[in-house]
Structure 1
Amino acid sequence: MRLSHIATLGVKELRSLLRDPILLVLIIYSFTFAIYAAATAMPETLSRASIAIVDEDRSPVAQRIIDAFQPPYFLPPAMITQSEMDERMDDGRDTFAVDIPPHFQRDLLAGRQPAIQLNVDATRMSQAFTGSGYIQSIISEEIVAFLQRYRAVDVPAIGLALRARFNPVLEEAWFGAVMEVINQITMLSIVLAGAALIREREHGTIEHLLVMPVTPFEIMTAKVWAMALVVLVATAVAMTVVVQGALGVPIQGSVPLFLAGAAVHVFATTAMGIFLGTVARSMPQFALLLILVLLPLEMLSGGTTPRESMPTLVQVVMEAAPTTHFVLLAQGILYRGAGFDVVWPHFAALAAIGAALFGFALARFRATIGQMA
């Protein structure tokens, strides 16, 4: 092994990447707009939901209910007629439509139990279920306050001092931004490494490498360090410009320590990408294999759903996945301010998994080159 060969081949990989506009656009998009969109466009709680109200009663209690729907949970209600309600729901303009029937206040004061109709667009799953509970609570509170002529304040028997640690304002974007950075690191490192190998095969340059005085280890190592460098630079820019700058996410720990953990993680995932590149014979095949590998890595790593909620077998299997340890490492550093003395077991696990994947991919790479020679 000669370091000069590895360095030269790595520079060649970087030049090849610069001549590929599609991959360059993918890198820029993945570490800028994709992170910002994932952090802000899909809130898990109710936020600025569209609501329309049909007021057939025109009473003080109906007006109280209308005035209760305000941002940030709801947009200002659109006052519509009953004939417009179904049309607007069919067009997707309203997530919720409330119909207050005639004589609602009169029936309420007479001790009857009048019903208010609530129509929900259930295709908007992120808001439909939560919003229904919010609306029921708001309407019930306003009716009780109207009947009692004042807003009752229940004094609890005990006081609950709520302390939301690591995200005191309960801002979804703070969590979503970091998790999306982790997902993009995993995806891009696999894609770039695998695409680099497939590009060599499609362009015929792999045959040129076979007649040069370089070993498969040098070729593979060059691809790993070159693609890892690209991903790490893009990650550093994303953390500074998008996460901390545009989204204002407070980072509790050391960003350089996080980047060091990302480097070990990328070592494992680029080896995985090269292995997939040796299995696939074309970019479409590689894309199909990527779907089978990437989705379980991201969904079962614990970044979206706590691992404790998963079946025991899944937890055991995912211990061998690099993303599981990278998620724990990243959350510990960026959210809780953990130092190396806390996260070193995850560093060690990532290094061991990366070494195993690198060795496995190298054996497969040597066999593939042997068949082409």
Structure 2
Amino acid sequence: MGTRNGTLHNTWYLGIKEFHSLIGDWPMLFMIVFMFTVSVYADATAKPESLHRASIAVVDEDQSQLSSRIIAALHPPQFIDPERIELAEIDPTMDAGRHTFVLDIPPNFQRDVLAGRSPALQLNVNATRQSQAQTGTGYIQNIVNDEIRSFVQRYRSTAAQPVQLVERAMFNPNLSGGWFAAVTAIINNITMLGILLTGAALIREREHGTIEHLLVMPVTPFEIMLSKVWSMGVVVLLASSFSLQVMVKGVLGVVVPGSALLFGAASLLYLFAAASIGIFMGTLARNMPQFGLMTILVLLPLQILSGALTPRESMPALVQWLMSLTPTTHFVSLAQGILFRGAGLDVVWPAFAMVALIGGVFFALALRRLRSTIGKMQS
């Protein structure tokens, strides 16, 4: 019992020491605040997948009621109010990069539509703005088709379709990309800071020479490691909870149907695994620049291939299997289930178990590596 109390006592005060070290590290504090405020807001409002205020011009050679309807339908927030230009201005304006899209409505367009001749519209696209070009082309095509269909129905009846498809968008009725991006940004930032803070804390001990002070104290590598895990985990948990409640729900107005407490518990469990990975990397790196380069090689696959940005079903089978051995994949699965779909513990408990299992393995590996590193420093 005395040993257990001593371990808890040492772990607690070593964790408090980590808080004091972090408070004095202004660049790291700025990064934490930035990642869970400005970065989350930017990801939700400036994602290229969502068309927002795209520049468009229209050459109206028809000057008809139908062409006016089409132009009026190209309105904010997807597009800036269309600029009317002449036919000869298309190439100069596109060369100058003034517009992403230029729609050319040919003469006698309305007459040909009503006569059933299927006239063609020309859409000039500035493909150097790749994300807007791909998304906006689909937007414009749907807008033109809807306006033509609505206009034609006023003049002649159309045959009833034998089957009607009724769409039901679940969990995101407005299909808003910002809702998905904001929550995904929090998930990715938990991964990033969970690894960075613990690894940087260990590197900071070595660079400042305080690791030698710990070696002469009656503390074990297990206590040193556990103190960094719980202290940095608490920091990231508080920052992510603030971001979810204030930035996502408050500032961005995202409706999150899931339980914030269940997500907090999942985040805390995942931070145990992420912090263990960070400490393991901290024992491999000799200094902060080397740790930073190593972090890039680890974070990019974890964020891109975990299912946070792209569905795992679209990835090769080998990649899916390899990523199933990382805690990030299972954390993304349970976090999306909780926050997006309002899933309870009865649904996400397998992912909870996998995060705990893989986290335990990484903790054991990191502890073994830390003991070996400290042993070399003592000898």
TM-score between both structures, scaled by the size of structure 2:
0.90
Gap change, CA 1:223 and 1:153, over 3 Å in 2: farther
Q: Deviations along 1:132-191, whole A, 9 cap, x unmatched?
A: 233344445556776786376553223333222222222222211111110000001101
TM-score norm. by structure 1 comes to 0.91
Aligned to 1:167: 172
Secondary structure, in 3 states, of the residue corresponding to 2:170?
coil
| Counterparts of 1:253 and 1:109, CA distance in 2 | 51
Residue number in structure 2 paired with 1:222? 227
- Give 1:208's match in structure 2, choosing from 204, 208, 213: 213
Question: Could you tell me which of 48, 56, 70 is aligned with 1:51?
Answer: 56
Measure how far apart 1:123 and its partner are.
2.6
Alpha-carbon distance in 2 for matches of 1:356, 1:110: 71
* Displacement of 1:19: 0.4
1:255-294 mapped onto 2 (5 Å cutoff)? 255-294=260-299
Deviations 1:39-90 (A, max 9, x none): 1211524343221123345455543432332234322201223454344434
Residue matched to 2:303: 298
Aligned counterpart, 1:11:
16
Structure 1's 340 and 365: CA in aligned 2 closer, same or farther, altered over 3 A?
Answer: same
Distance 1:341 1:112 in 2: 58
Structure 2 CA distance, aligned partners of 1:165 and 1:224? 37
In structure 1, give the amino acid aligned to 2:288. Answer: M
Q: Does the 8 A contact of 1:50 with 1:94 survive in 2?
A: yes
Cα distance, 1:199 vs structure 2: 1.0
1:125 to 124, 127, 130: 130
**Corresponding residue SS for 2:336:** helix
| Partner residue of 2:359 out of 354, 361, 367 | 354
- Cα distance, 1:351 vs structure 2: 0.8
Please give the alpha-carbon distance, in whole angstroms, between the structure 2 residues aligned to 1:46 and 1:258.
Answer: 30
Cα-Cα RMSD: 2.5
State the identity %: 59
Unaligned runs of 5+ in 1: none
CA shift for structure 1 position 111 = 8.6
Secondary structure in 2 aligned to 1:97? strand
Distance 1:261 1:136, change over 3 A: closer
Measured in 1, the distance between the counterparts of 2:116 and 2:349 equals: 66
User: Aligned equivalents of 2:192 and 2:372: distance in 1?
Assistant: 25
Equivalent-residue separation in structure 1 for 2:180 and 2:115 (angstroms) = 49
- Decide whether the 8 Å contact of 1:145 with 1:152 is kept in 2: no
Which of 159, 182, 187 aligns to 2:192? It is: 187
Measured at CA, do residues 335 and 108 of structure 1 come closer, stay the same or move farther in structure 2, by a change above 3 Å? closer
Judge which range, 102-111 or 240-249, deviates more. 102-111
Q: Distance in 1 between matches of 2:158 and 2:79?
A: 24
